Structure formats: C-alpha cells, structure tokens
Chain A
Amino acid sequence: MAAALEVRNLSVYFQTPEGEVQAVRDLSLTVAAGEIVGLVGESGSGKSVTALAIMGLLPPSVSRTSGSALLGDRDLLALAPDRLVKARGRDISMIFQEPMTALDPLFRIGDQITETVRAHHRVSRRAAADRAIRILTDVGLPDPAARVRAYPHQLSGGMRQRVMIAIALVSEPAVLIADEPTTSLDVTVQAQILGLLAELSRAHGTAVVLITHDLGVVAETCSRVHTMYAGEIVEECSVDEALLAPKHPYTSGLIQAIPRAEKRRQPLYSIPGRVPPLTAMPSGCRFEPRCEHASESCRAAQPLERRDGRAVRCGRHGELTLPGAASGVDQ
C-alpha cells in the first residue's frame, strides 16, 4: 500500500529560558490510505508536539523542526507558508482533545464548516451550506439541517467532537491526525466516536494517525501501533503483536495499565515514576530510571532495532519475556 503520510526522522526542539530542549527525537512513522495507525504513550511523551510539528502548527518563534513529513511528493516541513496553509484542512487535517474549546464559541457550527469549504474550494455559499449539512449527516449529528444554526455551547461534548470531525473531513483530506479525540468523553460516547472514525476512514480511504495515552483505544481501532516514550519511538509493530507479545518493557507497562472490566474493583495500574523532563533526559535508555529490567548495559544509548517488520528500542528485548494482554482486552 502506498504511504499517504510518511514522517522521516522528525526532531523537534524548543527554545526555553534554560536553553534549547529536544521534545521529539528522530521519529519516523508511516500511514497508508484507509489505515488507522496508533501513536501511544503517557502524557508528556511528545505525541501532541509530533502532531503539531507535522501540521506546521508549532509556534515558529520558539520551535525548530528537522526531518521530513511527506504527503505524496510534498514535504510539509519544507513547504512555503502559503502552500502549507492551503494543504491544511484540504490534504491533511487534525482534530483535538478538547471539543469544548476547539470550536470558535462565537460562530455557528454551520458557518465554521462552510468557511472551511470556501477556504479550499471555489464554491457558492449555497453549495458550501449543502456540503455542511451532508458532512454533518455523515458524522451522525442528529437533525443537521437545524443544527447548522447552533452555537458550540448548545451542543454536548460528543456532538462537538462530531462537528470537529466534520470540519476536519469536509474537504476529504488524505490524512487525518486525531490527537486524543475521545479522552475527554465518557466511555459510551468514546466508543461511538472511535467507531465513526474507523467507518469514515474505511469509506473514504482516509489515513488516520490516532494519538492516545490509552492502549485500549488503540486495541479497538488501529492496525499498527507506535509506542512513544520521552520523545522517541520505542516500539513499532502490529496491534496484535504489541498486545500479545510486547518487546519493550514500556509497551508491556502500558498494557498492564489498560482499564479492564474483570479488574474493575482493583486500583488502576500505572507505571511507577514519571516521564523525565526535557531538561534532564537520561543519556542511555530513556526508560531506564523506571524500568524493572534495567541493567548495566541499559546506560548506553539504545538504537531502534528493526527486524521482521517490527522495531524495538531495547537492547535486552531478546532476553526478556514480557507480559502482554494474556487475558485479552475489552473489545
């Protein structure tokens, strides 16, 4: 399958009062048309920064990127600003975690969709308005013909996220980056939105990068998954491989942290410790301070090793047998 989006060796740096820090290091990621690829990691791993860097939405005054993000034959990271503006929303779109704040509170949702259409296509107001009603129907918003006149505060969180998806997909982009699209929604609505994304991706051949901190969400929706820790990809493989036989201790830890029905009465597991701050990254394996399998050899930098269609950044992975989701994950 041809890659719809191919990110190669992406690095992101921020200028801070303490000097330049690196938030993303040498990240590569590929997603094909109609495929949903997961990017998973705890909060602070650099997932949002990765997404914003690909979209060219990081504040240019305090950030710097290197590498490339190929959308067909265009490199988004090297595109002239005016061409990048035109590519956004038409060829690559993004939806965000907070549907409460992501929409403009002062404009009717219909207008927020039609202005997107008219930013990219020379169509009449009428045609754009018809298009808005059709896409709102597609994303499952009840009574779209009346709802186009609603303001965001008149909709529930789930409805707003549907509107966000409608805005992102109205121009049928090749790629959609969804940054924690269901994190702020309750479980039932979360399942509906994930189902909708999967359905739309299949129907329109949209390549989706689904960003989440919850491997359970990946398990439900994605075919492949990239595990990200402290600005780096630490494991990349199919979702089945990741769940049944994770090779990186961090992926294994995330699997233990998936909320599960039969464990509902036990406290939720989380990996001890926290993601190191950007100013104090360990020079060897970045997971070493939190890893229960750490040994002397882990103090050295760990390269991302590729073999048999998967990749892992852990020198000890051959020696370790890590627990996966033996008892299965809620589907």
Chain B
Amino acid sequence: MRRLLLERAVWLVPTLLLATFGVFWLIHLAPGDPAITLAGENATARQIAAIRHELGLDQPFLLQYWHWLTHAWRGNLGTSLNTREGVAGAIGHALPVTLQLVLGGLLLAAVLGTIAGIVSARRAGTSTDAAVSTLASAGAAIPSFWLGLVLISMFALGTHWFPATGSVALTSNPGQALRHLVLPSIALGVSGAAEIARQLRAVLIDILGSDHIRTLRAKGLSERRIVWLHALKGAAVPLMTIVGLQVSRFLGAAVVVEAVFGISGIGSLVVGAAQNHDYPVVEGVVVVMALIVIVVNFAVDVSYRIFDPRIR
C-alpha cells in the first residue's frame, strides 16, 4: 500500500507539469487580451500597457509560466486577473457544488448501471436483455445538455416537481439540496449508467459461465446469492475501474450540466475564466482536477486489493 501511494505520488509531478503547461500555452495562444478588457472601453494605449505590466503580461511566455509555477509550488495559486479574488478561495466556493453534482451523478450511474448490467447478464439473449441493451445505447448517445433541457421542461417547468435551476449545499439544507440535485444528476449520470451496464453485462456473462460459479450451483446455493454475492464480487475489480473512469468523465461533463442548470460550480468558474484569459483561475482548476483524478485512481487501486486477495 505504501509503495502504491509512493508510485502515485511520483507520477503526480510530471502529470501536473504537463497539464498546467499545456493549459498555460493554450490560453496564451487564444486570441484576446485581458488587459484590454480590464482597462475598460475608453482606455488609452498607455493605460493598457500599464495594466499589462502590472499583471506581468508583458513578460516572455515561459517566464510567466515559471512565475506561476514557483508560486503554485509554494501553495500560492495567485489571484484572479478579473475579479482580484484569491484563486484558492474561488475554487473553494465552487468545488463543493461540483463535487456534490458529480457524486450524485456517480451514485445514479453506479446503482442504475449495476442493476441494468445484472438484469441483462442474467437474461442474456432474451428480449429483456435486448430491451436493456437498446436503452443503454440510447442512454450513451443522448447528449447531457439535451437531456438536461428535456428534464427541466418535463419535471421542473411542466410539473414543478423539481427546481429548474440553482443548487443548495448539502451541508446547509440536505432536503433542498437533494431536490436540486435530482435532475442535474440524472442529466450527468445517465450516460455513465449506460457505460457501466454495458461493460458489467459482458463481465458478468463471462463470470457466470465460469467453473467456480458451476461449483456454487452444484453445492445448492440460490441463484440470488450466486449473482449478487459471488459473481458481483468477481466483477468488482472491472466495475471499480469503470466507475473510476466515469469520475474523470463527469468532471468534464459537469461543465455542460452546470451551464444548463445554472449551477455556479467549477464548470462555470473555469468557462468564465477561460473566456477572459484569466490563467491563474484556469490553472488552479486544472491542478485541483488533476489531484482529484489521481486520488480517485488511487482509491480504485486500493479497492482492487480489498476485493481480490490475489492482488495483495
């Protein structure tokens, strides 16, 4: 376990360097100049130049990156070019909002995907299996923004069962927070559920045909125990891998879902920042996202060791 942690930590450095440099470069290449925006409509060229100098934008690109990197290394993510708010603070506000959305989507995807995967694997080749597979293909193909809009018009604007926009922190008012989370979680989670169902089905069909499952049948275990305990535990390692992959996918897709549901999470923060060349904010988000993905991968690795005694 220690070695695993160390291995992951060693990988962290090159991953972060590559990601942050790439993003820095992309922002630099993108058209537009934050100094012009900041200076306002009637600014003179001198005023703009002064702002550029103040923000360090007149320095060579590599030097700018170096400055950012050395500060970030010491834990200082800097301040937003646009709002002058500290980057760490801005992320601190937005991140919990996104995390609760991603967790909601993940929970839905895992539960729905697992049930659908089990049902279709047990009835492989039947019309039930075909129906679930068709639903899953549809679920994988529906764009989340479109699904979000449909959900809003049907269950928020139409029936008023759920609020159409906004979010509430789980820590402040859990009931309201959950009501706000339902529709965005569905919009985010459905494609993940489809992916989990599809892969779990294949894995389970394989496992259910294996020798040790035949032994369980020969010794008189109920089919329910065989499927839900033995086969599902056998599928846990691939299942955890798929779920882990969904986390990174959902972090990306959250941008779109947040926009549709008017949720001010990491997605809206980074989109606004990118449009304004606000590189400190964008870079801060990149670092935090990379850390999350790495922590999730580590958790997935640890789960392998919990589920499969042969990997210890």
**A residues at B contact (CB < 8 Å):** 55, 57, 61, 85-90, 93-94, 96, 98, 101-107, 115-116, 119-120, 151, 153, 164, 167-168, 171
Tell whether, in the assembled complex, residue B219 and residue A104 are in contact, meaning their CB atoms are under 8 Å apart: no
CB–CB B211/A101 < 8 A: yes
Task: Please tell me if the beta carbons of B214 and A96 are within 8 angstroms of each other in the complex.
Answer: yes
Contact across chains for A96 and B220 when beta carbons are under 8 A apart = no
Least CB distance from A134 to B in Å reads 17
- The CA of A151 and the CA of B221, in the complex, are separated in Å by 19
Within 8 A of A (CB), among B216-240: 216-223, 225, 230, 233-234
Which one of B213, B219, B222, B307 contacts A93 once the chains associate, using CB atoms below 8 Å?
A: B219
Please name all residues of chain A whose beta carbon is closer than 8 Å to the beta carbon of B215 when the two chains form the complex: 96, 102-104, 164, 167
CB distance from B223 to the nearest CB of A (A): 8
Residues of B close to A153: CB separation below 8 A: 309-310
Closest to B307 in A: A106
With an 8 Å Cβ cutoff, the count of chain B residues facing the other chain is 23
Given contacts A61-B125, A153-B310, contact A88 B212 (CB under 8 A): no
List 22 A-B residue pairs with CB atoms under 8 Å apart, sorted by A's residue number: A57-B214, A57-B217, A85-B217, A85-B221, A85-B222, A88-B220, A89-B221, A90-B220, A96-B211, A96-B215, A101-B210, A102-B212, A102-B214, A102-B215, A105-B212, A105-B308, A107-B230, A115-B221, A119-B219, A119-B220, A153-B310, A168-B218
Task: Give the nearest-CB partner of B221 in chain A.
Answer: A119
Q: A89 and B219: CB pair below 8 A?
A: yes
Give chain A nearest CB distance to B264 CB in angstroms: 44
Closest residue of chain A to B219, judged by CB?
A89
Which chain B positions have C-beta within 8 A of A88? 217-220
Are B219 and A101 in contact (CB-based, < 8 A)?
A: no
Instruction: Choose one: A61, A105, A168; the contact of B219 (CB below 8 Å).
Output: A168
Indicate with 1 or 0, residue by residue over B187-216, a CB within 8 angstroms of chain A CB atoms: 000000000000000000000001111111
- Which of A87, A89, A104 counts the most B-chain CB atoms under 10 A from its CB? A104
Task: Name which residue of chain A comes closest to B223, CB basis.
Answer: A85
Find A89's partner among B220, B308, B309 (CB 8 Å cutoff).
Answer: B220
Shortest Cβ gap from B227 to chain A (Å): 13
Closest residue of chain B to A116, judged by CB? B219
Give the distance to chain B from A212, nearest Cβ to Cβ, in Å. 18
Q: Taking the nearest CB of chain B, how far is it from the CB of A128, in angstroms? A: 13
Contact A151 B230 (CB under 8 A): no
- Let me know if B219 and A167 touch, CB within 8 A: yes
B211 / chain A contacts, CB cutoff of 8 Å: 96, 98, 101-102
Ranked nearest first, the 7 interchain pairs of A and B with the lowest CB-CB distance are A89-B220, A89-B219, A88-B220, A101-B211, A151-B309, A94-B218, A104-B212
**Contacting residues, chain A, for B230 (C-beta < 8 A):** 104, 106-107
A87 to B218, CA, bound (A): 9
Contacts of A151 in B (CB 8 A): 309-310
